[in-house]
Structure 1
Amino acid sequence: MGILRRGYERFHDNPSSLRHATQMITSLTVAVVLLGALMMWVFDHGQYPTYGSALWFTLQTVTTVGYGDATPISTVGKTVAAVVMLTAIGLVTVVTARVTSTFIEAARVRTARANAEAASPETDPFTRLDSTLSTLVERLDQIESTLAERLDQIESTLAVNDATPSESRDSS
């Protein structure tokens, strides 16, 4: 019963947690199946002569299979069967919700990724074109700057050569 109590406390602390709800309802279902089988065996012994046959009945009931090979006869047996049935409804509901939420979350993540990729600057052709043009403009600016420096060097060299007498140029 300690496991059941801990599960209830976790569920009570955070009831919106599907994981805690699943743990709680699964623990409760296992307890109801085992206790229900014991009660069926004790109170409807004619119908369930062994604990195994009583456990078989509660498992059939909780899984909603219900072969109908044995049904409770006594009032207590029918009450226990009703509790097992109601617990099974809770189990099936929570398990279904858990599976559904897993699929929904996976779809949400896929959609978010696809949206992020679609909005990504790397995938937008205009953004890529703009980036490429910016890079080309920067490179052209660098080339122009380098050419301007070289032109200044050439002009200053020519100016020095023009100012120097021609004899000193011939001797060198």
Structure 2
Amino acid sequence: MLTIIAYVSGILGIIASIIEILQFLKILTTKHKVIILAIAFVASITCFSLWYIIDTRAEDKRIEELKEKFIKNDAKTTADAIIISGWEESGDYIGYLAQITGFYSRHKDKYSIEYKTYHKQLESWMSFFETSRNNGTFYQGYSSEISELRGLVQSGLDNLEQISNEEK
């Protein structure tokens, strides 16, 4: 509210200055004062409106750039936390998949499809290992399944690294 009052005061000051200058030069009559006042007022309001629109667009652009920077930093942090050395167990890969899913969960508004895909995969793998553990068949002949999980995690890691390195 104070900003609007400051702008209106500035606009009225400019109008008064124009009228006084023209009156000092003895160019104005009473009829001309009203016309100049109206023209100056309309011009001032138009300039203020244009400035406000341009400033709002610039602010929106700055916000979008900050969001992109935040997403890139988050992707880099998440990717840096996933260290695949070749000695991982299935639980490690589940944890990595949970981290990847967490990244997409934090950015659902931009990556909703990826979130749904990774979330569904995470639930599926957790269910698979829980069922295996409950049946007592955990670690018996699951090297191909763990290989699939490793590939899924590696793919997710590659995607995160790509997001963190994207140029806009």
Is the TM-score greater than 0.5?
Answer: no
TM-score for both structures, normalised by structure 2 = 0.34
TM-score for both structures, normalised by structure 1 = 0.33
* Structure number with higher relative contact order (C-alpha < 8 Å, ≥ 6 residues apart): 2
Larger Rg: 1
